[in-house]
Chain A
Amino acid sequence: MASTPQDRYGRVQRIVEKEHAVVEGVDLPGPWNRMFEQRVIWDNDTDGLDRIRAIPGAESLGSCYQCGKCTGVCPIDIVGSYSPRKIYKDIQIGIDLMESPDLWLCTTCANCLRVCPKEVNMVDIMPAVREQAIAIGSHVPPELAKAFENTFRHGNPMGEPARKRADWAASAGVPVRILPKQPGPVDVLWWVECYPSYTPRGQAAAKALARLLTALGVDFAILGAEEKCTCDSQRLAGERGLFEMLAEQNMKTLRQYQFQRVLVTDPHALNAFRVHYPKLGGTYDTIHYTKFLAPRVAELGLRKRIDAKITFHDPCYLGRHNGEYNAPRTLIEAIPGATFVEMGRCRENSYCCGGGGGGMWLDSFTGDHVQERLSERRVREAVETGAEILAICCPYEVSRFEDAVKTTGNSGKLAVMDIAELLDSARQDA
């Protein structure tokens, strides 16, 4: 009889072995007829699962009945091995989620939630477990910790000085009213957010949108240096305290001004304003810029042709999380000369770019756990459609996809452009 071997989780394998066993007329002696005993469900200690389910926000993990529908749609499983079902199974057999790298891979894209018959809600579970992990001193990936610290200190995850937040506006080509400097009531408060304010490609999109709004005669203003990150992604990455702190500051700032509605460039800011700020007492009539522009697209004067095949990446936080799929398509289809091509994974089944849920600040970490980046997978899908332009409308995406175009060897084959930039280029007279 063999010694008590263990499986890869360190559990003893119980073995059944006879000296002789005749199977279909063949005598199998000793080790040849060895079998493992069937494992029984209560072999597994339920402590691990109970501990996770006890965390407020993470209760729904217990509802999982292992059907596997989530695994089919999880963007990370397609380039690695990951899904809520797999996480449930790992916890069940004793893996501590709070010390596991799996804790940081979820982008909260919500594709799993969309298909889960039991409504296991990773968008609530992962942030709750992350928050708990940070509180008990689990190792926080350094890139993410830096983003948290930068946001805390400077109001943006890049660590750029707050007072330079509106510097981009000086070269927008049109006047951009900065509310603290020119106070007074305004119709539309445009919440620009961090990536459009501070990154070169983001600034290009912001300037384009400023020109579009001006062309439409919109009465708009930005908050400039008084605007601070809405921190929705930091919240999802486990820093609820940081989210609440900046929400309080932002709401206090907003109370000083009079405006009818809030226009956002960033679907993550949309999510913060629509879903989470009301829980803290701040209710704002918030609209994404694509939804704002779509009904007025005919007024934009789109005269210059862009003769190209254009495909569109539905941002997780505009589409699945906030229900808007049509407005961006309306805008793209209004561009003269453009041929719109749809990717296979579109609309509700859109494939995450990898930036949400803290993913923007976990690239060096995630790289160790996937065969290729989510953004690279998505770019290859875009190229397969024959598209020459990948249109986007979330500021996380442009740098992720442009990097991916290079690293997948598609330089020169696919351009990545914000819808605002596309519309702006189509506006100039031919």
Chain B
Amino acid sequence: MSAEILVVVEHLQGKVTDATHEALGAARAIAAGAEVVAVLGGAANTGLAAELAADRVLHVADVRLDAYSPDAYESAMRSIVAARSPRLVIVANTTVGMDLAAGLAALLGLPLAAYCVGLRADGTTLVATCQIYGGKVIAEVGLDGPAIVSIVPGSFVASHGDGSAVVETVAAPQITTRLRLVAYEVAPSADVDITKESVLVSVGRGIGGPENVPLAEELAAALGGVVSASRPVTDSGWLPKSRQVGKSGLTVRPKLYLAIGISGAPEHLQGMKDSELIVAINTDPGAPIFDVAHFGAVADVIELVPALTERLLG
């Protein structure tokens, strides 16, 4: 086992993702003398290496790694990890991580701690703190030997490179593309770009049904904002997907985020917890949303929302 911490660089549409910088931040924080190695795939994108906060960037030069696809990346990473036997491999728990982490763990017979929100050293053991059951339970696991960890985006402080990383181009190992990438597609931007709004009134399942969405829209209008939503609401079609806040939707940082009937599952919190002012209304006093909100009220959403609108229009 080498004293290396390997981080898989996730880049989409030519840009290194924020989650990757967080993964590198996590790696640096527990490196304690180990070398932080970033693995960057792609034929001609060494330019990205400068922004990576790694000691070494392994540039896997292959056109099949230019854009992420599951089989190509898994096969490439498998060879690299097998050859280098790092102490720890860190991936972000994004779509990429949800392909790679478990796939690599199974192929290489390595333990995997997923949904990790904290990492620390306890002697020679690395202790990962992981979130399960929608964030209601945390699990601490000890990793004594080589292991893989997938981190929840937004849990670690990002670290940005200063161009000092040593770039080492390596030949592409056996890469398979049993699943071939045809194309990436960006969903046509619909009515509203919620990432640009300064006030969001966000609705969750607690709004009860699509017939109550207008209550939120009236409140949003009274505050000069728009309505956004959590995944269950957009999945049910009560609001279009363009309004979805969270891990599989959009990350927002408005000045005001009013969470209405949203319980606060980690995937949602990830998308809004850096909002400047968060006010949450929910019937469940134990809802995790209250942990990130600045102000909270336990109340029936259907009663309170119109009462707020009434006063604002006052």
Q: Do chains A and B touch in the complex (CB under 8 A)?
A: yes
Chain A positions within 8 Å of B, measured between CB atoms, are 142-143, 363-364, 367-368, 406
Q: Are A364 and B208 in contact (CB under 8 A)?
A: yes
How far is B211's CA from A374's CA once the two chains are assembled, in angstroms? 16
Chain B, residue nearest A403 (CB): B302
CB distance from B298 to the nearest CB of A (A): 13
CB distance from B302 to the nearest CB of A (A): 8
List residues of chain B with CB within 8 A of the CB of A363: 209
Q: Are B209 and A406 in contact (CB under 8 A)?
A: no
List residues of chain B with CB within 8 A of the CB of A406: 303
Q: Are B209 and A143 in contact (CB under 8 A)?
A: yes
CB distance from B30 to the nearest CB of A (A): 41
Q: Are A364 and B303 in contact (CB under 8 A)?
A: no
| Per-residue interface assignment for chain B, residues 234 to 246, with 1 indicating a CB less than 8 Å from any chain A CB and 0 otherwise | 0010000000000
List residues of chain A with CB within 8 A of the CB of B208: 364
Q: In terms of DSSP, what is the predominant structure of the interface of chain A?
A: helix
How far is B209's CA from A142's CA once the two chains are assembled, in angstroms? 10
- The one of B211, B236, B303 in contact with A367, judged by C-beta atoms closer than 8 angstroms, is B211
Chain B, residue nearest A367 (CB): B211
How far is B208's CA from A406's CA once the two chains are assembled, in angstroms? 17
What are 6 pairs between A and B in contact, CB < 8 Å? Answer: A142-B236, A364-B208, A364-B210, A367-B211, A368-B211, A406-B303
How far is B303's CA from A364's CA once the two chains are assembled, in angstroms? 17
- Give the contact-size bracket for chain B: under 10
| Per-residue interface assignment for chain B, residues 180 to 221, with 1 indicating a CB less than 8 Å from any chain A CB and 0 otherwise | 000000000000000000000000000011110000000000
How far is B200's CA from A70's CA once the two chains are assembled, in angstroms? 49
How far is B208's CA from A21's CA once the two chains are assembled, in angstroms? 62
CB distance from A370 to the nearest CB of B (A): 12
List residues of chain B with CB within 8 A of the CB of A364: 208-211
CB distance from B161 to the nearest CB of A (A): 49
List residues of chain A with CB within 8 A of the CB of B236: 142
List residues of chain B with CB within 8 A of the CB of A368: 211
How far is B307's CA from A406's CA once the two chains are assembled, in angstroms? 11
How far is B209's CA from A363's CA once the two chains are assembled, in angstroms? 9
How far is B296's CA from A92's CA once the two chains are assembled, in angstroms? 56
Chain A, residue nearest B303 (CB): A406
How far is B236's CA from A324's CA once the two chains are assembled, in angstroms? 43
For window 19-50 of chain B, which residues contact chain A by CB distance below 8 Å? none
CB distance from A145 to the nearest CB of B (A): 12
CB distance from A206 to the nearest CB of B (A): 21
| Per-residue interface assignment for chain B, residues 104 to 124, with 1 indicating a CB less than 8 Å from any chain A CB and 0 otherwise | 000000000000000000000
Chain B, residue nearest A143 (CB): B209
List residues of chain A with CB within 8 A of the CB of B210: 364
How far is B303's CA from A406's CA once the two chains are assembled, in angstroms? 9
Chain A, residue nearest B209 (CB): A364
How far is B211's CA from A406's CA once the two chains are assembled, in angstroms? 16
List residues of chain A with CB within 8 A of the CB of B303: 406
Among B208, B211, B236, B303: residue with most chain A CB under 10 A:
B211
How far is B211's CA from A364's CA once the two chains are assembled, in angstroms? 6
CB distance from A45 to the nearest CB of B (A): 34
How far is B210's CA from A406's CA once the two chains are assembled, in angstroms? 19
List residues of chain B with CB within 8 A of the CB of A367: 211
Report the 3 A-B pairs with minimum CB-CB distance, sorted nearest first: A364-B209, A367-B211, A364-B211
CB distance from B198 to the nearest CB of A (A): 31
CB distance from B232 to the nearest CB of A (A): 11
How far is B208's CA from A142's CA once the two chains are assembled, in angstroms? 12
List residues of chain B with CB within 8 A of the CB of A143: 209
How far is B236's CA from A99's CA once the two chains are assembled, in angstroms? 20
How far is B236's CA from A363's CA once the two chains are assembled, in angstroms? 17
How far is B250's CA from A335's CA once the two chains are assembled, in angstroms? 60
How far is B238's CA from A142's CA once the two chains are assembled, in angstroms? 13
Chain A, residue nearest B238 (CB): A364
CB distance from A169 to the nearest CB of B (A): 23
How far is B79's CA from A142's CA once the two chains are assembled, in angstroms? 48
